[in-house]
Amino acid sequence: MPVDHYENFPVASLLLPARLRKPIETIYWFARNADDIADEGEWPPEERLKRLSDLRAELRRIESGEMSKTPWGERLNDVIRAHALPVQPFHDLLDAFSQDVVKARYRDWPDLAEYCRRSANPVGRLILHLHNAVSDENLTRSDAVCTSLQLINFWQDIAVDWRKGRVYLPCDEMRTFGVTDFQIAEGRCDDRFRALLGHQVGRARELMRRGQPLARALGGRIGLELKLIIAGGLRILEKLERHGYDMFRHRPRLTSSDWPLLCWRAAVA
């Protein structure tokens, strides 16, 4: 269960009920495919936006009850109809990934949080709908967990994102801590950078802990799955701290040796 890319989210795990594995796989495929259109390959921005627009047009056909024009559209339509899923979360994902094509900096924390609301939170919300577990409290907690996972992915991949021309660190906080783009380009992890990342890690951990009660509230297999995901996210933060926040030289990731600890933490959570 690497905390990386869309593997941040439960993806057809064997812990989940068999009847939900295909729907979750379909949601994952949609999110992953759209994210890859925004990020991967050598397409110019115009081509990326066109491909994302094509996905959006297919969503609109699903909403209007028209016949889908692609095999994936038919699969998604079947899942949406069978489970009465809202379509807006899928639109939110496309909006976020389209934004990735044209926006490379975030003014402040509210600006970044709004991006996370559309890039990460929709997946958790859709999974709550699949489990018939939608409530205001559950949605709030799910959003906290998903935003935290998105932030953890950002702090893992500062160097990777820099090579793509993106910085997800809030600009006003970079100025407060005295960290510049030039320093990120150099991969220089000094006291100022460590202070900035310590602040970001603290925010991600607080969000994760705020959402943690959701796993106990859901219970069963999905609750255990979520406990493992939360344990994995918190473990990545521990590794960031252990290496002095220097993800330039020590990109934190989960390995097989982490599994016994994660399973124990999930069991006692």
For residue 18, pLDDT over 90 is answered with no
Other Cβ atoms less than 10 A from the Cβ of 14: the count is 8
Q: Is the pLDDT of residue 16 over 80?
A: no
pLDDT (tens digit per residue) in 172-229: 999 999 999 999 999 999 999 999 999 999 999 999 999 999 999 999 888 998 999 9
Determine the pLDDT at residue 19.
85
Picking from 35, 21, 44, the residue whose alpha carbon sits closest to that of residue 99 is: 35
Closest CA to 217 of 120, 113, 121, 141: 141
Q: C-alpha angle 221/151/33, rounded to 5°?
A: 70
Segment 64-99, tens digit of pLDDT: 988 888 888 899 999 999 999 999 999 999 999 999
Of the candidates 214, 182, 181, 201, the residue with the CA atom closest to the CA atom of residue 241: 201
216: how many CB neighbours lie within 10 A of its CB?
11
Predicted local confidence at residue 67, as pLDDT:
81
pTM for this entry:
0.93
Report the pLDDT value the prediction gives residue 2, as an integer from 0 to 100: 36
Coil/strand/helix, residue 165: coil
Q: What percent of the chain has pLDDT over 90?
A: 82
The whole-chain average pLDDT of the chain stands at 92
